[in-house]
Amino acid sequence: MSLSLRKNFLLDADETILDFVRSSKESLRYALGELSLAYSDAVYAVYKRINDGIWAEYERGEITKKQLQVQRFSRFFGQLGVTADAERANELYFGKLCRTGFLLDGAREFLCELCALGRVYLITNGTPQAQYGRLDALGIRSLFAGIFVSDEIGAAKPDPRFFAYVLEHAGLSAEECVVIGDSPSSDIAGANAAGIPCIWFAAKGRRAEGARPTAVAHSYAEILSLLRGAGGAAV
């Protein structure tokens, strides 16, 4: 079935429509300030590298979410060579993150156009308070036909159980859907394992890392073009 015939869109959140990096920077700046520690873009780069790595461990099932939340700051402070309370840092960071939402440029318009083409379901790895909090801060929660958060499901992308849960509770089959997301290791690999066609939103030009997207788009316009049957970078 052509992508343009599918009218149920399983859409990733962070770095697909939500500007997680901006929210994360603001939250880390706040947390470090409360702990009387200096913030800079270089300091954030250290945190992001550690956070990205530990989230990859979580996606592989190597650590729990509770371990992730504390260990990312323990490793971060160790890398900086400072002594600070990792649990308190996570509390401060997470509390700020839950009320700090930003959209990527063009994401609001893209989301409205996607809703006009069919039903949009948000599929996201994360903690409900952070995901729902940012959606509410942005006033966009009502645009989704359903919202599926890994912590509420008990499985995280790319685990096929995550996608099986989404399909079952949305009353859909894989043949009716297309996954749209920026992460090869989470969104695209997960869609591959679940047998759902997928569009890789490769706006940052990363490599596919072994995942097999049905099609590749480098902009929101290209995603919409693919879904309207007007061409695009099918692979």
CB neighbour list of residue 81: distance below 8 Å, 6 or more residues apart:
none
pLDDT at 235: 45
**DSSP letter string over 135-146?**
HHHHT-GGG-SE
pLDDT(205) > 50: yes
- For residue 211, what are the CA distances in angstroms to 14, 16, 94, 187, 198? 19, 17, 31, 9, 10
* Domain parsing of the chain, residue ranges: 3-19+102-234, 20-97
**Architecture field, domain 3-19+102-234:** 3-Layer(aba) Sandwich (3.40)
Query: Could you read off the pLDDT of 122-158 as tens digits, one per residue?
Result: 999 989 999 999 999 999 999 999 999 999 999 999 9
Torsion of CA 16, 19, 21, 24, to 10 degrees: -130
Assign domain 20-97 to a CATH class.
mainly alpha
Query: Could you read off the pLDDT of 81-123 as tens digits, one per residue?
Result: 999 999 999 999 999 999 999 999 999 999 999 999 999 999 9
Q: Would 3-19+102-234 and 20-97 be classified into the same CATH topology?
A: no
Q: Where does residue 205 fall: left (phi above 0), alpha (psi -120 to 50 degrees), or beta otherwise?
A: left
pLDDT at 167: 98
Q: Where does residue 171 fall: left (phi above 0), alpha (psi -120 to 50 degrees), or beta otherwise?
A: left
Query: Could you read off the pLDDT of 213-234 as tens digits, one per residue?
Result: 999 999 999 999 999 986 544 4
pLDDT(200) > 70: yes
Query: Could you read off the pLDDT of 21-50 as tens digits, one per residue?
Result: 999 999 999 999 999 999 999 999 999 999
Stated pTM of the model? 0.89
Question: Does residue 198 sit in helix, strand or coil?
Answer: strand
Q: What angle do CA 99, 205, 111 make, to 5 degrees?
A: 45
Is the separation of the CB atoms in 11 and 110 below 8 Å? no
